[in-house]
């Protein structure tokens, strides 16, 4: 099954992005997690560090509330990803569906993507 | 006069030879077969909602810990081990499941003091069955009550 979001909601009142997936799963991402896991080459320390899944340490990274962790807009990138623009102007990260699913912080998804529990 | 005759001869020569040029051969079994591109079926694009910017931003948590009922917290500081969410507020209660670092929960009840720990009752925003009491030591505020 091609797993993809059916609906994406960025709630700026509680700073949480919620994704309803087409397989029935539901993910909730704090804005800070999405920014810490920005998949752009600059944030990941160069193209050589880019991979299909987020680095494990992003889950334990806590970013303080700031323009860097406030979402200005979310736009679809074709039918495979979203681009998030942050209030500090950063908008280079392309979050594709696989990456976002791997970034889901719930226990089930963390187990699936290799994080020790 | 002589120049006009020469020009006429050149023109006649060109016209006659152009008629003699054979058309390009077309093989009935051409080596090149044009394959039409497949018709792309457009993939569905998810519906994206971005809520308007709140007029009064929730802001940073108050200095006294700041967790409050109705707010959202995320688990942090477990180094990947996860935080046990328990069936009651205290270490004597059984763990129900592990909450993972960065996992978000809504605060539904609390605080309760037990075993020298402050406990909050948390519910996952996407699955109400994923709920339990958690020690505040490993909770980070995402937002206060909107």
- The residues with which A112 forms a beta bridge, in sequence order, are none
Q: Residue B101: which CATH number? A: 2.30.30.40
Give domain status of residue B114, yes or no: yes
Judged by a CB distance cut-off of 8 A, whether residue A96 touches chain B is: no
Q: Do B44 and A4 touch (CB under 8 A)?
A: yes
Locate all alpha helices (DSSP H) within chain B, ordered by sequence.
2-20
SS3 B12: helix
Whole-number pLDDT of residue B23 = 52
**Measured between alpha carbons, how far is B88 from B114 in angstroms, rounded to an integer?**
10
Asked, for residue B31, whether it belongs to a domain, the answer is no
3-state secondary structure of B66: coil
In-domain check, residue B34: no
Backbone φ, ψ for residue A28 (5° rounding): -125, 120
Domain annotation covers residue B139: yes
What ipTM, to 2 d.p.? Answer: 0.75
**A33-92 residues touching B, CB cutoff 8 A:** 33, 56, 58-60, 62, 64-65, 71, 73-76, 78-80, 82
- Structure confidence by residue, pLDDT tens digits, B83-141: 999 999 999 999 999 999 999 999 999 999 999 999 999 999 888 889 999 999 999 99
The domain ranges of chain A are 5-112
Instruction: State whether B47 and A58 contact (CB < 8 Å).
Output: no
Which of A27, A62, A79 lies nearest to residue B140, judging by beta carbons?
A62
From the list A12, A14, A115, the residue facing B53 with the nearest CB is A12
Of B50, B98, B127, Cβ closest to residue A71? B50
Neighbours of B7 (CB within 10 A): 10
b/e per residue B12-23 (b: at least 16 CB within 10 A)? eeeeeeeeeeee
In a domain, B16, yes or no: no
How many domains does the structure of chain B reveal? 1
Q: Output B57-61 pairs: Cβ under 8 A, ≥24 positions apart.
A: B58/A13, B58/A14, B58/A15, B58/B143, B58/B144, B58/B145, B58/B146, B59/A65, B59/B144, B60/A64, B60/A65, B61/B141, B61/B144
What are A12-25's pLDDT values in tens digits? 988 999 999 999 99
- Are the beta carbons of B124 and A106 separated by less than 8 Å? yes
Position A111 scores a pLDDT of 83
Pairing assessment for the beta strands A94-96 and B95-99 based on DSSP bridges: unpaired
Question: If you measure CA to CA, which chain A residue comes closest to B128?
Answer: A26
All residues at 6 or more sequence positions from B86 whose CB lies less than 8 Å from its CB, including other chains: B93, B94, B95, B96, B132, B133, B134
Residue B64 domain flag: no
Find residue B140's DSSP bridge partners.
B74
Domain A5-112: assigned CATH number:
3.30.2020.30
- The answer to whether residue B85 is domain-embedded is yes
Note down the domain range covering B83: 72-143
């Amino acid at each position: 099954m091609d797993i993809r979001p059916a609906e994406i909601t960025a709630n700026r009142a509680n700073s949480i992005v919620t994704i309803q997936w087409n397989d029935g799963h539901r993910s909730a991402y704090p804005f800070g997690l999405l920014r810490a896991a920005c998949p752009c080459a600059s944030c990941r320390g160069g193209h050589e560090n880019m991979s299909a899944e987020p680095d494990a340490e992003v889950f334990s990274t806590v970013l303080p509330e700031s323009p860097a962790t406030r979402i200005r807009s979310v736009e679809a990138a074709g039918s495979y990803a979203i681009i998030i623009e942050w209030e500090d102007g950063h908008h280079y990260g392309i979050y594709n569906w696989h990456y976002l699913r791997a970034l889901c912080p719930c226990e089930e998804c963390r187990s699936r993507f290799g994080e020790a529990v | 006069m002589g120049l006009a005759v020469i020009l006429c001869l050149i023109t006649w020569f060109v016209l006659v030879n152009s008629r003699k040029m054979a058309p390009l051969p077309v093989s009935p079994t051409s080596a090149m077969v044009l394959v039409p591109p497949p018709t792309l079926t457009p993939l569905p694009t998810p519906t994206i909602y971005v809520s308007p910017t709140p007029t009064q931003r929730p802001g940073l948590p108050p200095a006294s810990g700041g967790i409050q009922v109705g707010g959202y917290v995320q688990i942090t500081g477990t180094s990947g081990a996860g935080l046990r969410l328990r069936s009651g507020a205290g270490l004597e209660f059984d763990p129900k499941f592990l909450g993972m670092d960065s996992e978000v929960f809504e605060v539904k009840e609390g605080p309760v003091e037990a075993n020298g720990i402050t406990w909050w009752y948390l519910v996952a925003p996407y699955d109400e069955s994923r709920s339990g009491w958690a020690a505040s030591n490993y909770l980070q505020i995402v937002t206060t009550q909107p």
